[in-house]
């Protein structure tokens, strides 16, 4: 039995707060100053007992951009050119124990975020650490919320505020605005 937490990002990590004082610490579950990409922390209670007073922890994934960076901003070893992402935000487990990761991050595709594309949903295997991209959302959206049908053959996923910068008028054209939606992805095999 494990617990997971998405730490979406913190560009102010390692900097002094606005009111002065000591900088927010860098280390442990927050290993990078100016952390633009985020991470997912995993806790394991002693003996699998959630009432235990001791636990161990690790970083399941340190998100990053290996297309731009070669240092710790490239991400952990389970981040690669086929799955890189930023700002993990939503987490859920399915009945097989796979971790579904939803992002709400920077989709500019410029600078530190070059090549990252739109927000997305990925699937991680907690046992192996492998992460694969499942879907990519439309322009300027957040991927948020998911649930499964009773037979576990369909996943329903929330697409929130697509085109939020106001430059998109799809699908209606004119002055219309894109609408949030729930999409269904069904498995038939």
User: Residue 125's pLDDT is what?
Assistant: 98
Position with higher pLDDT, 62 vs 171 = 62
User: What does the mean pLDDT of the chain come to?
Assistant: 92
Residue 131: CB partners within 8 Å, gap ≥ 6?
Answer: 61, 78, 79, 83, 101, 122, 123, 124, 125
Beta-carbon contacts of 183 under 8 Å, excluding residues fewer than 6 positions away, are 156, 157, 159
Query: What is the average pLDDT across 165-183?
Result: 86
CA distances 26 to 10, 33, 154, Å, are 11, 6, 41
Nearest to 115 by CA among 62, 64, 170, 61: 64
Q: 80 pLDDT exceeds 90?
A: yes
What is the 8-class DSSP label of residue 159? E
pLDDT at 182: 97
Q: In what order do the strands lie in the sheet with 39-45?
A: 3-7, 39-45, 55-62
* Total domain count, the chain: 1
Q: 64-76 pLDDT, tens per residue?
A: 999 999 999 999 9
What pLDDT was estimated at residue 66? 96
Please give the residue that has the higher pLDDT: either 15 or 42: 42
Q: Domain of residue 42: give its range.
A: 3-186
């Amino acid at each position: 039995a494990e617990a997971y937490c998405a730490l979406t990002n913190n560009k102010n990590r390692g900097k002094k707060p606005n009111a002065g004082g000591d900088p927010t610490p860098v280390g442990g579950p927050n290993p990078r100053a100016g952390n633009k990409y985020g991470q997912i922390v995993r806790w394991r209670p002693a003996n699998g007992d959630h009432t235990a007073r001791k636990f161990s922890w690790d970083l399941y994934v340190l998100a990053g951009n290996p297309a731009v960076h070669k240092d710790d901003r490239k991400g952990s070893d389970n981040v690669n050119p086929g799955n890189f992402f930023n700002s993990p935000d939503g987490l859920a487990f399915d009945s097989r124990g796979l971790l579904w990761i939803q992002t709400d991050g920077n989709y500019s595709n410029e600078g530190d975020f070059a090549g990252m594309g739109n927000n997305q949903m990925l699937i991680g295997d907690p046992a192996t650490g492998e992460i694969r991209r499942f879907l990519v959302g439309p322009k300027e959206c957040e991927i948020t919320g998911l649930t499964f049908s009773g037979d576990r053959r369909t996943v329903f996923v929330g697409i929130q505020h697509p085109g939020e910068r106001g430059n998109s008028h799809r699908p209606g054209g004119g002055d219309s605005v894109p609408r949030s939606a729930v999409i269904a992805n069904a498995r038939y095999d």
